[in-house]
A and B are shown apart, each in its own frame.
Chain A
Amino acid sequence: QVQLQESGPGLVKPSETLSLTCTVSDGSISDSSYHWDWIRQPPGKGLEWIGSVYYLGGSLYNPSLKSRVTISIDTSKNQFSLKLASVTAADTALYYCARLSRAYEYWGQGTLVTVSS
């Protein structure tokens, strides 16, 4: 079955850019049936949709984060990536990648990113 794995630094300084990658295995990221998404969860809080990318490269973002977010896809590596610029402590969260069809059937395990100097 499809597996997703997040990777990237666990600590980012304020005002810098958070960068994460999600590697997809046992499934093609070029499958036209799916979008590939990022979701985050601040400690002790609920889930927040960050954005979505399609294999052709089109992306959609949460309006609350749109000015700072870029989600891209690399079909040759079967990966997609998240960049969040100008981070603050409010961006400290568990970041998940997931595959979207009618819902998120497959999720990564999540990676904790802490914003601190």
Chain B
Amino acid sequence: DIQMTQSPSSVSASVGDRVTITCRASHSINDWVAWYQQKPGKAPKLLIYGASSLQSGVPSRFSGSGSGTEFTLSISRLQPEDFATYYCQQTSSFPLAFGGGTKVEI
């Protein structure tokens, strides 16, 4: 089974900052990674799929990169609405797995 290790678990940032979140897969998963944003009381929202493809309607300040076992989600110029929890997920093979989450807070 493939495990996803996400870091950091939390990050303090300010509006306008650049934030980078990392996910490491226990085995190579090519580009089968997705990133989600979750706000309290809401279902997760898809931001990035295929490691670097921006989901329709997602602002361009969000970007994803990586392949194999190392992946990053970057948020340039953090906006107030970006304070949330972010999760990576591998969709390369079953059982699917999520990272532990990163809370981006002020």
Residues of A whose CB lies within 8 Å of any CB of B are: 37, 46-49, 52, 60-63, 96, 98, 100, 102-105, 107-110
Known: A63-B1, A102-B34, A103-B91. A49 touches B96 (CB 8 A): yes
Q: Nearest CB to that of A97 among chain B residues?
A: B43
Residue in contact with B98 in the complex, picked from A46, A63, A102, CB distance below 8 Å: A46
The CB with the most chain B CB atoms within 10 A, among A60, A96, A107, A108, is that of A107
User: Secondary structure of the B side of the interface?
Assistant: loop
Chain A interface secondary structure, helix, strand, loop or mixed?
Answer: strand
Q: How many B residues touch A, CB cutoff 8 Å?
A: 22
Contacts of A108 in B (CB 8 A): 43
| Chain B residues in 8 Å Cβ range of A49 | 95-98
Within 8 A of A (CB), among B49-106: 49-50, 55, 87, 89, 91, 94-101
A109 vs B45: C-alpha distance in the bound complex, in angstroms? 11
